[in-house]
Structure 1
Amino acid sequence: MASAGKRRRLSETAASFIVDSLLLLEVADTLENLCSVNPSKNVLILPMKMKNSNAAHSGEGCSFSKAYCDVANKETGFYFVDVFRRGLDMLLEFVHDKKLPEKTQEKFILRKLLEFLSADECISDVQGLTETELTATLANHLFGKLATTANYVMDAKCAGKKTNQCLCGGKDCILTGRYGDTSIGNAEVWHGNIKIILNGNCVIEPDSGNQGGTTTLSTNPQIIAETVVFSFLQKQNHPERETFLAPCIGVRYSDLFVMFYDAEHDVLLESCRIPLAKAKEPNKFSVTAVIVSWMVVNYKFLCTGLTEEMINFYKAEFFEQAGSKLDVYKVKLYMGNVTSLQTTVAKPRQFPGRENPYMIERRKTLKEAVEQCEEKFSHAGFTRGHLSHN
């Protein structure tokens, strides 16, 4: 991916953000679609109920790659922006009234989005990339650029050559992330390595499952397990937050989707597919994908959490699936250095002793001595249970 040579200018003044009218129209049009009653235009999130899983597998927990989770989609869809009302209102006020957020942090976040859109970022040909390479490239050229900082950690255990050079083809394009330990969870329950963790707040994972159309839900068990564990981990590490609706972005070559889980209210949501590129300009990011990604990677500031209807009527029933291991999910999850349990302790290798007449004779004599002692002990009212062995 390489930025277009011609960039639309964005004002650097603190008082106002100046963007051209075409960009404002694109943003306004996208927001209108996100709020549209037409399901072919908007982005919906559907609640899911867990029917069966190995979240509480007996003995050793299951790795994410071996996670099993049978879910059923509820026959109700909610607007994606319904859980990002702060982000929607921020953009709406800017587009409609040219009003800027009052908080410095929110101004900074808004500027990140407008600068990205003004830069007119291009998409290179990603079809030749592996799923891992695709995920890293999107983290470098989309998700990282929309976040407050472009720091992300990539799984050091993933296959392929480790290099700081971006795979977009640009000679001077360097990855802003690093390779490291991305393991999360607990070996007693779901656990494993995430492909990418962005700023410690958002999981990004390739989706190699369902390859259907843009409205087809993935219900990828690995991504469900990662989202659930990550939400519990965020709640454990950041109890002060207003909401624990933690996201995981699933990416494919032509689209992306977002999985959410709320570890406090036990609600699991999955968005429909969102095309990465514009329909008429396949080398450009779609504004919808950009705005959705911007809201997700900055969910700490833009997410308003579940609505009352979601909380009261659309439980995922993961708590029931977790059963006796629910406390592990709630208070015993870790980030980093998470490995699988050894179900049995390795025993030292045993070697047979070579027999000889001397040892055979001594063994016979010792047996007679033990029998004599036991006889004396029994006459005195003692048993072998009174003996103490070192």
Structure 2
Amino acid sequence: MSNPRPKIKHDYKHILVKNALYSIDNFEVFPLVLNKICQARKDLSFCNAAESFTFTDAICRVEKEPKDHGNKDLVKLRKLKNIFQDGIRVLDKYIRDDILPKDKGAKFAVENLLCFFLKNFQNQVEYTSIYNLIEAARKLYNAVHDVKFDSEVPIILAHHLLSQLVVCPAYVVDQQNRGSRSTRCPCCMEEMSGTFGDTSMGSTSVWHGRLDILFDHVFVVCTSSLDNNNDDDDDEGQSSSVAIVYEEQRGALKNTKKIKDQLRAQNIVFSFVQKRFHPDLQHFLVPHIGISEDSVQLYFYDCEHDILIESRQEKLFVSEEEINMKTIIGLWLVLNHKYFCSGITEEMKTGGFTAGFLENYPARKKDI
């Protein structure tokens, strides 16, 4: 039987949500288009979607578009909150009217977020800042940085972080990561709420491969290779569910072409998979998460409108004792995107956000 939810002081709950809304206002995303230089030269090496390649060998080179040149309207579009308007309205209504959503899933998601904050922040009555010293953050930080094997990190992140933020905590870890492991978390030996199983996706005629973690209605992929490079540079001339990729090479999300290509390919394929098996969805903007023990980067692709979006790289921890509120609220929205994601806005559809994937590979979408 699950433990009863702890009661949370009313005023403090509102402080938490206000800080959550404030932090998400600064969460930036950028539209991506397939590299125009390569296209102009008819260099097909900018994208190998027309051939059979695993995700780790995928090529999907892009550049950030459109160039805003100081255009304030375009700058405003580059906010994560624009594609999560349903979630923003839910949190705003809670602050103004103290009302939780009627939808059971959305209500449970908000309660999960509040309970996560309560468990992770000390002295909730006295503190008004969201960035407090937290014992749970210290434990999580130590757990993911002191692992014996890199393959343990996806399990630890799923058990201690991701499953705490999603409505359904059940998940599937790639069975090839199991080895001789039991179904217990390697850092605390608690029984996992997930299992090991098949996480393969895609078609062998195009991009395909295994993902690291699958949540119910949220596809989490944990990839390999992240670092602290500035992620503002384009790749010019050169990488309902959520995919989360864990980077096996320790550190922040690496700005390497290879890992970014992998993330984009997985994101594009999964959007088509969702549309094929769930054609009645309200929209097909599918999220994808790249995550390491230090950093998070979000991707989104809408196969109906051919729009590919990438967030800035965000730190998971502010310090060894502080969790990053901005990153947590971003993860929470994405993991619960079936309740909170409003999809591509009309301004994005007409604002030059088209990626060019369907234009260059119109015949391949039926093979995915």
For the Cα contact (< 8 Å) 1:46–1:271, is it kept in 2? yes
The residue type equivalent to 1:319 in the other structure is L
Q: Which residue of structure 2 lines up, in the alignment, with residue 198 of structure 1?
A: 215
Matches within 5 A, 1:281-300: 282-300=320-338
Partner of 2:243: none
Separation in 1, partners of 2:179, 2:28: 35
Unpaired segments of 5 or more residues in structure 2?
Answer: 36-45, 69-74, 121-135, 235-254
* CA pair 318-278 structure 1, distance change in 2 beyond 3 A: same
Over 3 Å counting, the alpha-carbon distance change for 1:49 and 1:106 in structure 2 is same
Aligned length: 304
Letter in 2 for 1:67: A
User: 3-state DSSP class of the match of 1:191?
Assistant: strand
Aligned match of 2:188 = 170
Q: Which residue of 2 aligns with 1:103?
A: 103
Contact 1:132–1:195 at 8 Å: present in 2 too?
no
SS at match of 1:305: coil
Higher Rg: 1
Give SS of 1:229's match.
Answer: helix
Pairwise CA distance, 1:187: 0.4
**Contact 1:205 1:223 (C-alpha < 8 Å) held by counterparts:** no
Q: Which residue of 1 aligns with 2:238?
A: none
Over aligned residue pairs, what C-alpha RMSD do you find?
2.4
Cα distance in 1 between the residues matched to 2:100 and 2:325: 20
Q: CA deviation at 1:307?
A: 0.8
Query: Structure 1-normalised TM-score?
Result: 0.72
Q: Are positions 1:69 and 2:57 aligned together?
A: no
* Cα shift at 1:20: 5.1
Q: Does 1:307 align with 2:324?
A: no
> 1:54 aligned to 45, 48, 59, which one?
48
Q: Is 1:128 aligned with 2:167?
A: no
Q: Distance in 2 between matches of 1:211 and 1:159?
A: 29
Which letter maps to 1:147? Answer: V
2: distance between equivalents of 1:73 and 1:289? 22
Secondary structure at 2:62's aligned position in 1?
A: strand
Instruction: Report whether the alignment pairs 1:320 with 2:359.
Output: yes
Superposed displacement of residue 327, structure 1: 1.8
Structure 1, unaligned stretches of length 5 or more?
A: 1-8, 12-17, 36-41, 330-390
CA pair 215-142 structure 1, distance change in 2 beyond 3 A: farther
Q: Displacement, 1:326?
A: 2.5
Instruction: Report what 2:239 is aligned to.
Output: none
Please name the residue that 1:183 is paired with. 200
Q: Deviations over 1:308-344 (max 9, x none)?
A: 1222221111113324323213xxxxxxxxxxxxxxx
User: After superposition, what is the alpha-carbon deviation per residue over 1:15-40, rounded to whole angstroms, capped at 9, x for unaligned?
Assistant: xxx435345324312312322xxxxx
Alignment of 1:1-390 (within 5 A): 10-11=6-7, 18-19=8-9, 21-35=11-25, 42-51=26-35, 52-57=46-51, 61-74=52-65, 75-76=67-68, 78-120=78-120, 121-122=136-137, 123-125=140-142, 126-129=144-147, 130-158=149-177, 160-167=179-186, 169-171=187-189, 173-213=190-230, 218=255, 220-279=260-319, 282-312=320-350, 313-329=352-368
Equivalent pairs: percent with the same residue? 29
Q: Which residue is 2:237 aligned to?
A: none
> Aligned in 2, Cα 1:131/1:289: closer, same or farther, shift over 3 Å?
farther
The TM-score normalised by the length of structure 2 is 0.76
Partners of 1:325 and 1:214 in 2: CA distance: 29
1:213 deviates by 4.7
SS at match of 1:117: helix
Measure how far apart 1:65 and its partner are: 0.9
Q: CA deviation at 1:274?
A: 1.8
Q: Which amino acid aligns with 2:164?
A: K
Does the residue aligned with 1:211 lie in a helix, a strand or coil?
A: coil
